[in-house]
Structure 1
Amino acid sequence: MIKNNSFFSGARFYFLSLLLIICLAAGTSSFAASIGELNKDIAGGETSASEQKASSSALDSQAVKEKNKYEMGLLADLHICDTNLKAVNDVIAAINRMGVDSTAILGDSCKEIGTEKEFDLAVKTIRKLKGKIFAVTGNHDYIYADRKNGDKKVRASASVKKHKLERFREAFGQKSNYFAQKANGYLLIFLSADALDAKPLVTLSGGALKWLENTLSKNKEMPTIIFCHAPLENTFKAGEKLGMRGSSAQPADKLEDILKGNKQVFMWASGHVHIKPSGKHYNSSANLWKNQIRVIHNANINNSAKYFNTLTLTTEYVIVRTYDADKNSWLKKFERKVGHNGKFVTGDGKDDDEKDKDDEQEKDKDDDDEDRDKDDDEQDGNDNDDKDGNKDEPVDLKGIVTPGLGEVKVRDGAWGNVIGKLYSGKFVDIKSVEGDWYIIDYDGKKGYILKQAMVTNSGDNSKLKKMETTATVDVNPAYGLNVRDGAWGDKIGKLSDGAKIEIIGEDGDWYKIKYNGKTGFVYKAYVDVPKASAKRASDDKNKDDSPAKPAAAEAKNDDKDKSKDSDGNSKNQTAANGTKGFEKSGLLNVPERAQRAKENGPLGHSLCGPTSLAMAMEFYGVDKPTVKVAKETKTLSAGGGWQGTYCGNILTAAKNNGFKGSYQKENMTIDSLKAITESGRPVIANVNTQGYWGSGHYMVVTGVKDGKVYVNDPWQGGQRTYSFASFKAQWATRNERAIVVQP
């Protein structure tokens, strides 16, 4: 017994000694995180005033190396395109040689307006980085529509912006576009520009600001670095055209309130203003915001400038260094040690203020190249302030909730709390316009409805045209069809479902009818007009207006550039009707598939793109399992993980399966869909089917007839029809984008 007790006493002493050593090692710094915290991410999530979603971690937990330092690369304003691709690749190669732990992508990775082509190239290039990637958006990544007005960029609608933000999040495997990561005793916070209805180029949403405030309040003792596309106000000289508001992170006042209440934030890394090392404000006393936060400016990358910064996170300070990837050398004079108070840590006997003054005097000799670097954004900035303002609208603005859309949410502010719903066909008086929103009177309260959910009299300069025919009211029996005293006029009566009416004219979206011995107007979407009469009215309209391009001619032009292959050889342009051909109804007999079928597994709910392509290929006789097609479209990784679906990948998969003539096109029309499907070719349309809340979807268009668009919807696994107005409203959010599948 004595021997055993002696043994356990010795073991107990050994164990306690070992535990003491571990505890001492873990406590070398008051700022060091516990081992458990070291590997823990902070949850981030997109929120709105109405619904704050419980978000899981924004990134999968990573094992941070236990060492005395953590190294990061910083890349900003890559604007990746064919002309600067070599320069970007040179910079990425240099970072990979350094073996950094991670790289922060600080926004504006896309060349100009964030089209799918620009975005795909940016993601493909950035993925060449070997370490962990943390990415945030810049204005060029999400705020612009995929088209330009002449040479000017155009602001996208809220739903398109939300789609591009979601696309960005999915591409980089992040569960949110704002998130945090703990590394070597530091809290790293990543903030994307994500506001949907703001004028300044780089604006954080209310949800992001609230998340930031909450996250900082829970980590008061941890030194914090924030990564964002734009710098803090007044830490540089802004160009005259963009001004400080367009050049810095917004809303500046709310950011100031949050940051001043959290002194642990000591560094802010950003790009946006394209300041190179030769610029006066690349490293100057102006970079110290409110005597608290050191702003680290990062240069843009082009063929003549391949500069980037690195951060080395030690227990006492952060070392900032600048590297020239063109000369493969460090710029020694820009090496800085920044303490946890935002001040420089020096060894020359001078205090921080004295060193800053010396730096400022030295920099005064350099040219301030910031304004020249931002020339490409100046026009963008001016245009944006105009584009997001209220356009000229009729004084008496009226609208109808887009027919076929279903219910639309009414909010108490832009992306605010939901206070009610309106249903398709509801007629409303619009009181005012605010950005992407129409403001209405809803039960005595101020209600906000997204513009894309409404058809209005804005820009309706139509004239009354003669038309004589009888028709039938086709409306929900529970509501009936209102009769008005003019197009967009006041209500004078109501017609029941199935009522026969006599049409005597056509005025834009309205029919003029005989009503109770007088005349009235009814909305066209709820009237079933005989096909012959509709055609006759259309012919009359074309005589009155300028000649319209026939649908067949448009389809022919769509194919004009497809008549030869890459070697210049002529391709067969005869209609390929596929193995299934046409149904008696005149629609393409495309086989139906359901994306949520059991064989597609738990990720089936996200396989609309591959399912649509599988249906189109099976129409031609190529029958493949949907999951296999999903891997070919890169929707699923080789290991079965979900990666998102992009039009470019669907097109590539179609061509790899022998459909070499397939092509993708934007700004298409319903007339072109009609002509293409009538020539025997199915079309995969990229739409938004969830009431404009940013959810993308793919469907196969099988035909257009009798005022309706017919589709095979993979979500429900069957045929579905849309009115022209409803389909166009949902298609427009994706720039009328579609893929024509053909041999």
Structure 2
Amino acid sequence: MMKKRWFLITALLTVAACILPMAPMDHTVQARRYERIVVCSDVHYGSKTLDPNLRTRKMKNKENAVREINGWDDVDLCVFTGDMVQKTGSPADYKLARKLTDRVKKPKEFLAGNHEVIYSSELSSTGRLRPADSYERFRHMEEYEKNFGPLYHSRKLGQYFLLFLSPDTLESKYAVELSKEQLDWLKKELKDHRQEPTLIFCHAPMTGTLLPGSKLDKPRNYAQPAKKLLKLLQENPQILLWVSGHTHTSPKNPSFTNPVNKITGTEILDVHNPTWDGKQVWTNSLFLYPEKIEIRTYSHKKHQWLPQMDRTVQVPGDMRKGGVAYATPPFSCRAA
């Protein structure tokens, strides 16, 4: 009788273990106090590379990076900071780009880069990019919004306020220039959210956040209109980060994490992000705590963090709120 009772108890415990959430044998369930954003910049899917073998390798690297990101349980948002398309922003380019971005199974936000907006769908006779006229730029913007949503918008994530900016001028000599309408909208959004720690995502970096004299340290590669944007940033101390791409600045570049990344006259850090169209893929993750932001860089080639690139930005005390504890996702039952 005792053996039967013991067998019944054991069987019930086994069934319960497979139904109720539980941690693997070698982990404990821990709460987290942060939201995590993974920044995916300058993906250029398929690839700007013409060599068929190298193109195939690069596309595979990008697909593997997406697979790895999908396996991270604590990702609250993936932000694509422009140049999702491979080259010209043609309908075919958008269709190809969507094949990769649709594979990302995390919540997503997008903003446009120069390759979505400013180039003609028809290359020159020598295969080079040509500037699009005003009409074609307008059509590119329509195509962008059809595939990825509004060119500029905002949202909340926990206690943080997020702003997403895109090039939207019909005529410009710069890679990324914001229209007067977008600047007016940005000014109002910042005014209405002055007490909330704020992150701005824009394809191009702010002026002066790359080492002077470097190849990319040119007005064309900085967000425009530079003076008006700088004035706005200097007037809004709630802004903590300007998160950019465009320059393809990688962890191997001395400008990647450097004192020059602090925007002139502010405490705002410009976080540069590498392209996915190089020989390997890196991503930055932003861990948003109530009292701080941790910026960490991950190598998808080596499948490891790069602790030498870690940075921390403190949230001013008057902007902090009590963080919400998020339980880790339940684990399925595993055989012992």
Query: Relative to 1, partners in 2 of residues 1:238 and 1:137: Cα closer, same or farther, differing over 3 Å?
Result: farther
Q: Distance in 2 between matches of 1:287 and 1:241?
A: 16
**Is 1:325–2:290 an aligned residue pair?**
no
1:255 aligned to 229, 247, 250, which one? 229
Letter in 1 for 2:130: V
Q: Which residue of 2 aligns with 1:128?
A: 103
Match of 1:304 among 279, 302, 305: 279
* Structure-2 change in CA distance of 1:168 and 1:216 (3 Å): same
Distance 1:110 1:196, change over 3 A: same
Tell me, yes or no, if the aligned pair for 1:265 and 1:293 is still in contact at 8 Å.
Answer: yes
Instruction: Give 1:93's aligned residue.
Output: 67
Offset at residue 340 of structure 1 (A) = 2.8
- Distance in 2, matches of 1:86 and 1:284, equals 31
**Structure 2: which 5+ runs fail to align?**
1-30, 48-54, 317-336
Q: CA RMSD in A?
A: 1.7
Q: TM-score, normalised by structure 2?
A: 0.78
* Corresponding residue number in structure 1 for 2:240: 266
> 2: CA distance between counterparts of 1:210 and 1:94?
39
| Change beyond 3 A, Cα 1:78–1:115 | same
Structure 2 equivalent of residue 283 of structure 1:
257
- Partner-residue secondary structure (3-state), 2:129: strand
| Partner SS state of residue 63, structure 2 | helix
- Asked whether the equivalents of residues 208 and 217 of structure 2 are also in contact (C-alpha less than 8 Å), the reply is no
Q: Which residue identity does 2:145 align to in structure 1?
A: R
Give runs of ≥4 in structure 1 deviating > 6 Å.
238-241
- Which structure 2 residues correspond to residues 373-384 of structure 1 after superposition, within 5 A? none
Q: Deviation at 1:68?
A: 2.5
Kindly indicate whether the alpha-carbon contact (under 8 Å) linking 2:210 and 2:216 is maintained by their aligned counterparts in 1.
Answer: no
Shift, 1:151, TM fit: 3.0
* Residue 202 (structure 1) aligned with residue 176 (structure 2): yes
Question: Partner letter of residue 164 of structure 1?
Answer: H
Structure 2: distance between partners of 1:142 and 1:117: 14
1:188 aligns with 2:153: no
Compute the displacement of 1:242 (Å): 5.7
**Residues 1:239 and 1:114: Cα distance change in structure 2 (over 3 Å):** farther
SS in structure 1 opposite 2:141? helix
User: Letter of the aligned partner of 1:102 in structure 2?
Assistant: L
Contact residue 311 and residue 320 of structure 1 kept, 8 A:
yes
C-alpha separation in 1, matches of 2:204 and 2:87 = 16
What is the 5 A alignment of 1:156-555? Answer: 156-172=132-148, 174=149, 176-237=150-211, 243-290=217-264, 291-302=266-277, 304-340=279-315
- Residue 218 of structure 1 aligns with an amino acid whose one-letter code is D
Paired with 1:146 and 1:133, the residues of 2 have a C-alpha distance of 26
1:590 counterpart residue number: none
Pair 325,242 (structure 1): closer, same or farther in 2 beyond 3 Å: closer
Q: What's the counterpart of residue 37 of structure 2?
A: 72
Shift of 1:187: 0.4
- Answering whether residue 104 of structure 2 is matched by residue 139 of structure 1, we say no
Tell me how far apart the structure 1 counterparts of residues 157 and 39 of structure 2 sit (CA, whole Å): 16
Show CA shifts across 1:353-400 (max 9, x none).
xxxxxxxxxxxxxxxxxxxxxxxxxxxxxxxxxxxxxxxxxxxxxxxx
For 1:170, the aligned partner's letter is: K
Amino acid at match of 1:135: F
Larger radius of gyration: 1
Aligned to 1:40: none
- Which residue identity is paired with 2:186? L
Instruction: Tell me the number of residue pairs that the alignment of Structure 1 and Structure 2 aligns.
Output: 274
Q: Give the 3-state SS of the residue equivalent to 1:148 in structure 2.
A: coil
SS at match of 2:94: helix
* Higher strand content, 1 or 2: 1
Q: One-letter code of the match for 1:309?
A: N
* Structure 1 runs not aligned, ≥5 long: 1-65, 342-743
Partner deviation per Cα, 1:327-369 (whole Å, 9 max, x = no partner): 111111112211136xxxxxxxxxxxxxxxxxxxxxxxxxxxx
Mark the CA change 1:235 to 1:152 in structure 2 (over 3 Å): closer, same or farther.
same
Deviation of the 1:196 alpha carbon: 1.2
Change (3 A) 1:88 1:222: same
Helix, strand or coil at the partner of 1:90: helix
> Distance between the aligned counterparts of 1:308 and 1:218, measured in 2?
31
Q: 1:242 and 1:324, CA in 2 relative to 1: closer, same or farther beyond 3 A?
A: closer
Q: Deviation at 1:244? A: 2.0
Higher relative contact order (CA 8 A, sep 6+): 2
Aligned-residue offset at 1:311: 0.7
Give the Cα–Cα distance (whole angstroms) in 2 for the partners of residues 321 and 270 of structure 1. Answer: 15
Taking the aligned partners of 2:213 and 2:143, their CA distance within structure 1 comes to 31
2:45 counterpart letter in structure 1: I
Q: How does 1:593-604 map to 2 (within 5 A)?
A: none
CA displacement 1:66-103 (0-9 Å, x = unmatched): 96311111011111116121111111112111131110
The 8 Å contact of residues 68 and 184 in structure 1, kept in 2 or not, is answered as no
2: distance between equivalents of 1:200 and 1:85? 28
Note if contact 1:184-1:314 (Cα within 8 Å) is conserved in structure 2.
Answer: no
The structural deviation recorded for 1:136 is 0.6
Distance 2:204 2:267 in 1: 18
User: 2: CA distance between counterparts of 1:240 and 1:309?
Assistant: 22
Cα 1:109–1:331 change in 2 (3 A) is same
Task: Assess if the C-alpha contact under 8 Å between 1:110 and 1:118 holds in 2.
Answer: yes
Residues 234-293 of structure 1: CA deviation (Å, up to 9, x unaligned): 011367676521111111011011111111111011111111101101001001112421
Secondary structure of the equivalent of 2:274?
Answer: coil
